[in-house]
Amino acid sequence: MTVITPTGEKPDAYGAAETIEEALAMDGVPLLPLALAPAYSEKRPEARFALLVANDTPVDEIAPFFGQAETIAVAFPAFADGRGFSLAKRLRRDGYEGTLRARGPLIADQFADALACGFDEVDLPETMANRQPVQQWLEAKDSMSVHYQTGYGEDRSILQQRLAARR
Protein backbone atom coordinates (compact mmCIF):
# COMPACT_ATOMS: atom_id res chain seq x y z
CA MET A 1 0.00 0.00 0.00
CA THR A 2 1.08 3.60 -0.69
CA VAL A 3 0.22 6.29 1.87
CA ILE A 4 -0.28 9.79 0.43
CA THR A 5 -0.60 12.95 2.53
CA PRO A 6 -1.12 16.55 1.37
CA THR A 7 2.68 16.94 1.28
CA GLY A 8 3.56 13.68 -0.48
CA GLU A 9 4.15 10.00 0.12
CA LYS A 10 5.03 8.66 3.56
CA PRO A 11 5.91 5.23 4.90
CA ASP A 12 3.12 3.21 6.47
CA ALA A 13 3.74 3.06 10.21
CA TYR A 14 1.30 0.21 10.87
CA GLY A 15 1.41 -3.54 10.56
CA ALA A 16 -1.90 -5.19 9.75
CA ALA A 17 -3.08 -7.76 12.30
CA GLU A 18 -5.70 -10.35 11.41
CA THR A 19 -5.85 -11.97 14.86
CA ILE A 20 -5.44 -10.80 18.44
CA GLU A 21 -2.35 -13.00 18.74
CA GLU A 22 -0.72 -11.24 15.77
CA ALA A 23 -1.57 -7.84 17.24
CA LEU A 24 -0.13 -8.68 20.65
CA ALA A 25 3.06 -10.10 19.11
CA MET A 26 3.82 -6.97 17.04
CA ASP A 27 6.68 -4.69 17.99
CA GLY A 28 5.11 -1.64 16.36
CA VAL A 29 1.63 -0.19 16.33
CA PRO A 30 -0.91 -2.64 14.91
CA LEU A 31 -3.68 -1.85 12.45
CA LEU A 32 -6.65 -3.69 13.94
CA PRO A 33 -10.03 -4.52 12.46
CA LEU A 34 -12.76 -3.04 14.67
CA ALA A 35 -13.74 -6.54 15.83
CA LEU A 36 -10.32 -6.98 17.53
CA ALA A 37 -10.24 -3.58 19.23
CA PRO A 38 -12.13 -4.53 22.42
CA ALA A 39 -9.88 -7.53 23.15
CA TYR A 40 -6.70 -5.60 22.32
CA SER A 41 -7.80 -2.66 24.43
CA GLU A 42 -8.57 -4.98 27.34
CA LYS A 43 -5.18 -6.72 27.14
CA ARG A 44 -3.22 -3.51 26.50
CA PRO A 45 -5.30 -0.67 27.97
CA GLU A 46 -2.54 1.94 27.57
CA ALA A 47 -1.36 0.86 24.12
CA ARG A 48 -2.09 2.93 21.01
CA PHE A 49 -3.28 1.31 17.81
CA ALA A 50 -4.69 2.07 14.39
CA LEU A 51 -8.25 0.99 13.74
CA LEU A 52 -9.65 -0.31 10.44
CA VAL A 53 -13.40 0.20 10.00
CA ALA A 54 -15.88 -0.43 7.21
CA ASN A 55 -17.34 2.67 5.59
CA ASP A 56 -20.81 1.83 6.91
CA THR A 57 -19.80 1.43 10.57
CA PRO A 58 -21.89 3.53 12.97
CA VAL A 59 -19.81 6.15 14.78
CA ASP A 60 -21.07 4.94 18.17
CA GLU A 61 -19.26 1.63 17.56
CA ILE A 62 -16.00 3.48 16.88
CA ALA A 63 -16.23 6.24 19.51
CA PRO A 64 -15.19 4.09 22.51
CA PHE A 65 -11.75 3.79 20.88
CA PHE A 66 -11.17 7.49 20.10
CA GLY A 67 -8.68 7.77 22.95
CA GLN A 68 -6.54 4.77 21.96
CA ALA A 69 -6.81 4.85 18.17
CA GLU A 70 -4.11 7.19 16.87
CA THR A 71 -5.38 6.53 13.35
CA ILE A 72 -8.76 5.41 12.05
CA ALA A 73 -8.56 3.89 8.58
CA VAL A 74 -11.89 3.91 6.76
CA ALA A 75 -12.13 1.17 4.14
CA PHE A 76 -13.35 2.14 0.69
CA PRO A 77 -14.36 -1.04 -1.18
CA ALA A 78 -14.52 0.89 -4.48
CA PHE A 79 -13.78 4.44 -5.62
CA ALA A 80 -17.46 4.87 -6.52
CA ASP A 81 -18.60 4.11 -2.95
CA GLY A 82 -18.60 7.47 -1.17
CA ARG A 83 -19.95 6.38 2.22
CA GLY A 84 -16.46 6.73 3.69
CA PHE A 85 -16.55 10.49 3.06
CA SER A 86 -19.73 10.76 5.14
CA LEU A 87 -18.21 8.63 7.89
CA ALA A 88 -15.12 10.87 8.01
CA LYS A 89 -17.29 13.96 8.45
CA ARG A 90 -19.26 12.26 11.24
CA LEU A 91 -16.08 11.11 13.01
CA ARG A 92 -14.69 14.65 12.97
CA ARG A 93 -18.03 16.14 14.04
CA ASP A 94 -18.20 13.68 16.95
CA GLY A 95 -14.77 14.69 18.20
CA TYR A 96 -12.18 12.35 16.72
CA GLU A 97 -8.93 14.33 16.56
CA GLY A 98 -6.44 11.67 15.47
CA THR A 99 -5.37 10.83 11.95
CA LEU A 100 -8.11 9.78 9.53
CA ARG A 101 -7.00 7.59 6.67
CA ALA A 102 -9.02 6.69 3.57
CA ARG A 103 -7.99 3.16 2.64
CA GLY A 104 -8.74 1.54 -0.68
CA PRO A 105 -8.98 2.17 -4.41
CA LEU A 106 -9.65 5.89 -4.47
CA ILE A 107 -8.60 8.01 -7.44
CA ALA A 108 -6.59 11.24 -7.46
CA ASP A 109 -9.68 13.29 -8.40
CA GLN A 110 -11.14 12.39 -4.98
CA PHE A 111 -8.16 13.65 -2.96
CA ALA A 112 -9.48 17.20 -2.47
CA ASP A 113 -12.85 15.78 -1.40
CA ALA A 114 -11.20 13.37 1.02
CA LEU A 115 -9.20 16.16 2.64
CA ALA A 116 -12.24 18.45 2.84
CA CYS A 117 -14.26 15.71 4.56
CA GLY A 118 -11.65 15.31 7.27
CA PHE A 119 -9.21 12.70 5.98
CA ASP A 120 -5.53 13.39 6.58
CA GLU A 121 -4.12 10.75 4.24
CA VAL A 122 -5.02 8.10 1.68
CA ASP A 123 -3.72 4.51 1.71
CA LEU A 124 -3.82 3.13 -1.84
CA PRO A 125 -3.37 -0.37 -3.20
CA GLU A 126 -0.21 -0.54 -5.31
CA THR A 127 -2.24 -1.09 -8.50
CA MET A 128 -3.93 2.29 -8.03
CA ALA A 129 -0.72 4.04 -6.96
CA ASN A 130 1.04 2.74 -10.08
CA ARG A 131 -1.70 4.16 -12.33
CA GLN A 132 -1.76 7.55 -10.63
CA PRO A 133 1.63 8.52 -9.18
CA VAL A 134 1.96 10.68 -6.07
CA GLN A 135 2.61 13.84 -8.11
CA GLN A 136 -0.78 13.44 -9.80
CA TRP A 137 -2.42 13.24 -6.35
CA LEU A 138 -0.65 16.37 -5.18
CA GLU A 139 -1.75 18.28 -8.28
CA ALA A 140 -5.35 17.05 -7.87
CA LYS A 141 -5.41 18.25 -4.26
CA ASP A 142 -5.41 21.87 -5.40
CA SER A 143 -7.61 21.45 -8.47
CA MET A 144 -10.83 22.70 -6.82
CA SER A 145 -10.76 26.21 -5.42
CA VAL A 146 -14.51 26.63 -4.77
CA HIS A 147 -17.39 24.31 -3.94
CA TYR A 148 -21.19 24.37 -3.80
CA GLN A 149 -21.74 22.41 -0.59
CA THR A 150 -21.88 24.18 2.75
CA GLY A 151 -19.83 22.72 5.54
CA TYR A 152 -17.39 21.30 3.03
CA GLY A 153 -13.84 22.09 3.92
CA GLU A 154 -12.84 25.34 5.58
CA ASP A 155 -13.78 27.92 2.93
CA ARG A 156 -17.18 29.41 2.29
CA SER A 157 -19.31 27.82 -0.42
CA ILE A 158 -20.08 29.58 -3.70
CA LEU A 159 -23.55 30.45 -2.39
CA GLN A 160 -22.14 31.86 0.86
CA GLN A 161 -19.65 33.96 -1.13
CA ARG A 162 -22.43 35.32 -3.37
CA LEU A 163 -24.61 36.19 -0.38
CA ALA A 164 -21.72 37.96 1.32
CA ALA A 165 -21.01 39.97 -1.85
CA ARG A 166 -24.63 41.26 -1.92
CA ARG A 167 -24.40 42.71 1.59
Helix (H, G, I), strand (E, B) or coil at 98: coil
pLDDT of residue 141: 82
Strand partners for 33: 52
**What is the pLDDT at residue 38?**
97
- In the predicted structure, residue 153 carries a pLDDT above the cut 80: no
More confident residue, 79 or 102: 102
Identify the domain containing residue 33 by its residue range: 2-166
Helices (H), 26-166: 37-43, 59-62, 83-93, 111-116, 126-131, 134-141, 158-166
Domains: count for the chain: 1
What confidence score (pLDDT) does residue 162 get? 82
Confidence check: pLDDT of 68 > 80:
yes
Q: Which residue type occupies 86?
A: S
CB 100 within 8 Å of CB 74: yes
Q: Which of 59, 49, 132 is nearest to 98 (CA)?
A: 49
Average pLDDT, integer, range 105-121: 93
Q: What is the mean pLDDT of residues 114-122?
A: 94
| CATH code: domain of residue 106 | 3.20.20
62 close to 72: Cβ distance less than 8 angstroms = yes
Question: pTM of the full predicted structure?
Answer: 0.88
- Per-residue pLDDT, averaged over 105-124, amounts to 93
